[in-house]
Structure 1
């Protein structure tokens, strides 16, 4: 340990050289909300839910290196209000119908909405209408729920070595795509055992034949809120 520390909501947090604010906070047992950050990959700050306030600036804690003496604000009304707005935007950009979703209770987006007390979206629903890919024998893809965290893209490329997924387009035209000429998951070497198959924080990549094997009410985030689960050592995104 370097002996350096910063303050997070008034609490001292030690850090090692090169650690980000989020990494140091998590190592010290402090939860900062996040969706796209994963310990297996370098941060790229796409979801912005890990936003914190440092010296009057709002920054992504997953990508901001910690600095000695900083006073960092995270769990405040101002920052949590910004996070709720970001969550509301994510909800209306996709078809996140929690009561009928197989991922309900295991979904990090849903769990964060409960944790941050996001009750109803204030933006107009976009209702994307993208085809569902049921071509693979073991996995179903619902592209309408994608939040563009890129975790499946990175896991397939960097861990599985298969390059099955990619993001195409920009802005409201961005979408998750399958790297096959046909665009079908069945025409790739994707397997249900791949790391990419279990890393999705929402309900895009779903194993077939097990959707409601664990009843709603007895799932990961039904038992305990996400800020508790995230501090218990589970691998991010492995809640099926």
Structure 2
């Protein structure tokens, strides 16, 4: 499978798609082409800070989905921990799951024996994780050498597509509705500036700054200007 033609095919396949169900169906098809029977895509939205939102779609066995949720395995899953701090791909194995042997045994008992995960994240923004899984045939170095560039490209393409779909569905695309002045006042607020400071920096009245911050806060559905600035920063809108 040629890398260049694969990239083009995947890019065209996901182009402008905003339905997460259709996107996942395309991810599944691409995963099958790469030799994997099952897959999952998880998207982490970093707001609100106290309870960040997590969206996951997968085709794992229903019994495993229920067990994973009931046992709260997400909080001890070593593959999740790895993808939280690194964008390097990781292959599931005994060493990776040494800290969670029961989770590993149960996953394998449900046919999730050979796995690969990779995270993608823009600075201060959404984090997405693609997981590819099959029930047999370990991932050998020879296969990884050939297929991992394709797998990583699929992870990247999936991140862009799923991120676009989730933003459209859950309203995290509000940057388009913030004016340049609203973004500017939020940026200075995030830097710890008072309204008086911002008024001097922008050479406008304090009432004007208050007006922009009030509008931005309302658009971001935040309780105050500080929360609005934090939310905008976490979503990568103040870069």
TM-score tier by shorter-chain length is under 0.3
Higher RCO, 1 vs 2 (CA within 8 Å, ≥6 residues apart): 2
**Structure index of larger Rg:** 2
More helix by share: 2
